[in-house]
Chain A
Amino acid sequence: MNLISIGINHRTAPIEVREKIWFSKDETIQILPKLKEKFFKECVLVSTCNRTELYGIPTNEFEDTQPIEEELTKFKNADNYVNSENFYLLHSSIAVSHLFKVVSGIDSMILGDVQILNQMKEAYLTAVQLKTVGKLTARLFDTAFHVGKRARSETLISEGAISISYAAVELASKIFSDLNNHTALIIGSGETAQLTAKHLQGKNIGKLIFTNRTREKAEDLASQMNASIVDFSNFLNELKTIDIVISSVTIPDYILTSKQVQKVMRERHNKQLFIIDIGVPRNIDPEVAKLENVFLYDIDALNNIIDRNLEKRRAEIPKVKKIIFEELEQFYNWYRSLQVNPTIQELRTQFEKIREEEVLKNINRFKVEDRELVDIITKRIVNKILHTPIVNLKNGNNSEVDDDTINKVSLIRSLFGLEKKK
């Protein structure tokens, strides 16, 4: 198969390089038709924060992919940042296998990344809209998405949180049944706290409240996330109505002591209180963890959860590879079936089988001396029926599978039921 994949990812280039060669959707819309026109019969460009990869069937067999690399870097004015060592080039089954690994999340920087499947789908749909996709890449990406879905449904490759913010939300979901009935307070404006707030919103948290020593920052975040705010000096009084606290302020003393939380717990009738302390130094007195119905976790505890989840995800890699192998095999079966000679052979076999069965069924109706003649005549009829379609099929190029050949072979296989035999 003449498929190639040219790309840059987190293994071959640092973030400073990757961000220079990142293509937005608008940029993809501009460059993809040009790439197809110059180099490819069909192609798809995938660009995410960790990779920019071009999959395609080149117009001509070529050894040197430098012109393609140059086209990409020139378009992004990244000549001074990106060099040819950052690019990798994969051929044929290695390129297919790589695509399957990417889409299943085992090639991602975040092992089992769930976003990559949707990003790949978006990239593919853009290529479909730009009409740079052909029969082969269509089938290739279709199979790749199937691999992605199978990897996520049949293995635990994407299970368990592997970011601090998501681990916090996952823990909250193990304590509370419906976050919609609960209120969360975000103390501070750190990045992780913001991300956690976003995840909580994604899980339909009932009410989100921000507080910060600098009131303006809290107001900013609250307006961005459609949340409310409370004065930093007053947040303790609000705690009786709050079920989830995410704290990430840089402050030398504890902002919540065990005694204060004890009082709060009495006021809230001992209802469960979930506290995430991601501040360094810690914001909440660790003694708080000993109180009944109070669940306190610091950054180490969350990192511990992430490490375990990562370990579990790593253990799933062999299962994902097995799925990739199975799908690779099926994809190649399909691909081989598109070649002309095997199809002609199968067509002949099918017709010959029908002829033999019919002759066998009816041979006794003929005189013994005529039977050999019946055999010869029926063979001749079959050969004549098949002659024109076979000649027309052979006009296609047998060594290379192009769109015209795929169409013809697919039609023949579908009309005569050859697909079912696979």
Chain B
Amino acid sequence: MNFLNIILPLLYILTLSIYGISFFRASTLSEKIKVYLLYITVLIHLIYLIWRTISFSHPPITNVFEILTVIAFSLAVAYLIIEIKTRIRSTGFFILVVVVIFQILSTFFIKDLINVPEVLRSNLLGFHVVSALLGFSAITISAVYGLLYLMLYHEIKSVKFGTIYQRLPNLEILEQMSFTATRFGFLFLTFAIIIGIIWLPKAFENFSYTDPKLIGTTFIWIIYAIGLIANKFAHWRGKKIIWLSITGFIISFFSMTIINMFFSGFHKFY
């Protein structure tokens, strides 16, 4: 079943291509088949995750590249739900670009860990990781819709009405989608941090509040908190809020990758 690890990025690339053709060329056939292809890909991804969990006796959340495939899966599922609920079918290409990147990184670097550190075999870890994972998926979606908002804003402002203008939903919807995703993201990140603060000092002897990962995550949390408070009380909207959301996502991404590579701390797993 490990061949699924190779097939998955290929399937996602194929799905991404069909979504791309549908977006840029407005082809009727690709418009019809794209969502079915995504269903199939997501189903195969689910089978892959279940197989991995059974084969290695732990859910695939014990290192960064396992987490990446789970995030890719949750992004694809979240997008499917968005497409079905909102009937907005034109934004899939942009979400799937991120999915493809995450899945490729995972496919190349994932390790088949059989022996998981004892510290990672905890129920609280499950809640912590699932919350963080959902939070990260939500802020990724928020950043993608934010980016689309900026692209459309630029086209409308500069009177250059290209494919982006023709295919994307309106600015208000993109802003709303990005902001709703931010709210979910903030909520899940808050859970993840609270659980982390309760559980981590008990689980790790070398736990430190100055850990780069912890500082990074807190910093990200503060950025989103500023955004939500500014929206509520200072009526920040449009580009300002969107830029905050994109900044938050970029820092999260680097926190998950670069901090892991260059800094060592108790939070070295991801």
The 29 sampled A-B contact pairs (Cβ below 8 Å) are: A174-B152, A174-B165, A174-B171, A175-B170, A175-B171, A176-B170, A176-B171, A176-B172, A177-B169, A177-B170, A177-B172, A177-B173, A178-B172, A269-B237, A270-B235, A270-B236, A270-B238, A270-B240, A272-B171, A272-B172, A272-B238, A292-B238, A292-B239, A293-B239, A295-B156, A295-B157, A304-B159, A305-B161, A308-B161
Residue pair A269, B235 in contact (C-beta under 8 Å) = yes
CA distance A366 to B172 in the complex (A): 84
| Cβ–Cβ < 8 Å partners of B169 in chain A | 177
Residues of A within 8 A of B (CB): 171, 173-178, 269-272, 289, 292-293, 295, 297, 301, 304-305, 308
Q: A269-B237, A308-B161 are in contact. Are A173 and B156 (CB under 8 A)?
A: no
CA distance A293 to B165 in the complex (A): 16
Of all chain B residues, which has the CB nearest A270? Answer: B237
| Cβ–Cβ < 8 Å partners of A297 in chain B | 159
| Cβ–Cβ < 8 Å partners of A176 in chain B | 170-172
CA distance A70 to B172 in the complex (A): 58
| Cβ–Cβ < 8 Å partners of A269 in chain B | 235, 237
**B190 close to A (CB within 8 Å):** no
| Cβ–Cβ < 8 Å partners of B165 in chain A | 174
| Cβ–Cβ < 8 Å partners of B62 in chain A | none
**B176 close to A (CB within 8 Å):** yes
CB distance from A199 to the nearest CB of B (A): 16
Taking a contact as CB atoms closer than 8 A, the residue among B159, B172, B235, B240 that contacts A175 in the complex is: B172
One digit per residue, 1 when the CB lies within 8 angstroms of any chain A CB and 0 when it does not, for chain B 221-245 equals: 0000000000000011111100000
CA distance A177 to B88 in the complex (A): 12
Residues of B within 8 A of A (CB): 152, 156-157, 159, 161, 165, 169-173, 176, 235-240
| Cβ–Cβ < 8 Å partners of B236 in chain A | 270
Taking a contact as CB atoms closer than 8 A, the residue among A175, A271, A301, A308 that contacts B237 in the complex is: A271
Of all chain B residues, which has the CB nearest A156? Answer: B26
Of all chain A residues, which has the CB nearest B157? Answer: A295
Q: A272-B171, A305-B161 are in contact. Are A171 and B156 (CB under 8 A)?
A: yes
Of all chain A residues, which has the CB nearest B152? Answer: A174
Q: Beyond A177-B170, A308-B161: 12 further Cβ-contacts under 8 Å? A: A174-B170, A174-B171, A175-B170, A177-B172, A270-B237, A270-B238, A272-B172, A289-B157, A292-B239, A293-B237, A301-B159, A305-B159
| Cβ–Cβ < 8 Å partners of A272 in chain B | 171-172, 238
| Cβ–Cβ < 8 Å partners of B239 in chain A | 292-293
| Cβ–Cβ < 8 Å partners of A177 in chain B | 169-170, 172-173, 176
CB distance from B86 to the nearest CB of A (A): 11
Of all chain B residues, which has the CB nearest A269? Answer: B235
CB distance from A56 to the nearest CB of B (A): 37
CB distance from B245 to the nearest CB of A (A): 16
CA distance A304 to B156 in the complex (A): 13
CA distance A351 to B152 in the complex (A): 66
CB distance from A372 to the nearest CB of B (A): 57
CA distance A177 to B237 in the complex (A): 15
CB distance from B103 to the nearest CB of A (A): 32
CB distance from A171 to the nearest CB of B (A): 7
CA distance A256 to B192 in the complex (A): 50
| Cβ–Cβ < 8 Å partners of B156 in chain A | 171, 174-175, 295
| Cβ–Cβ < 8 Å partners of B173 in chain A | 177
| Cβ–Cβ < 8 Å partners of A174 in chain B | 152, 156, 165, 170-171
CB distance from A251 to the nearest CB of B (A): 24
| Cβ–Cβ < 8 Å partners of A292 in chain B | 238-239
| Cβ–Cβ < 8 Å partners of B172 in chain A | 175-178, 272
| Cβ–Cβ < 8 Å partners of B171 in chain A | 174-176, 272
CA distance A177 to B168 in the complex (A): 12
CB distance from B177 to the nearest CB of A (A): 10
CB distance from A412 to the nearest CB of B (A): 39
CA distance A292 to B243 in the complex (A): 13
| Cβ–Cβ < 8 Å partners of A305 in chain B | 159, 161
CB distance from A300 to the nearest CB of B (A): 9
CB distance from B235 to the nearest CB of A (A): 3
CB distance from A154 to the nearest CB of B (A): 8
CA distance A374 to B169 in the complex (A): 74
Of all chain A residues, which has the CB nearest B169? Answer: A177
CB distance from B125 to the nearest CB of A (A): 41
| Cβ–Cβ < 8 Å partners of B176 in chain A | 177
Residue pair A293, B170 in contact (C-beta under 8 Å) = no
| Cβ–Cβ < 8 Å partners of B237 in chain A | 269-271, 293
CB distance from A206 to the nearest CB of B (A): 13
| Cβ–Cβ < 8 Å partners of B235 in chain A | 269-270
CB distance from A8 to the nearest CB of B (A): 37
In the complex, the 5 A-B pairs of residues with the closest C-beta atoms, listed nearest first: A269-B235, A177-B172, A177-B173, A301-B159, A293-B238
| Cβ–Cβ < 8 Å partners of B157 in chain A | 289, 295
CA distance A303 to B260 in the complex (A): 54
Of all chain A residues, which has the CB nearest B165? Answer: A174
Interface centre among B159, B171, B236, B240 (most CB of A within 10 A): B159
